[in-house]
Amino acid sequence: MISLIYLPIMVSLCVPLHDSAYVMMIVMRIKRSLHILMLDFLKNG
C-alpha cells in the first residue's frame, strides 16, 4: 500500500522534467485508483 504512494515520486525522479505532464497523468491515475481502493475498504470494513 505504501509503495503505491512512493511510486509517483520514484517515477517523477526517473522521468525527465520535460515529461512532467506524463508524470502528472500517471499520478492522477494512481490517486484515482487509491481513492477507489479506499472506498472499497470503507465499504467492506
Q: What pLDDT is stored for residue 1 in this prediction?
A: 57
- Contact by Cβ (8 Å): 12, 23: yes
Number of domains the chain contains: 1
- Contact by Cβ (8 Å): 11, 26: yes
Q: What pLDDT is stored for residue 32 in this prediction?
A: 92
Q: In terms of pLDDT, which residue wins out, 41 or 10? A: 41
Q: Which domain holds residue 10?
A: 2-44
Q: Is the dihedral of CA 26, 31, 37, 43 positive or negative?
A: negative
Average pLDDT over residues 33-39: 88
C-alpha cell at 18: 520535460
Backbone angles phi, psi at 22, to 5 degrees: -65, -40
Q: What pLDDT is stored for residue 37 in this prediction?
A: 86
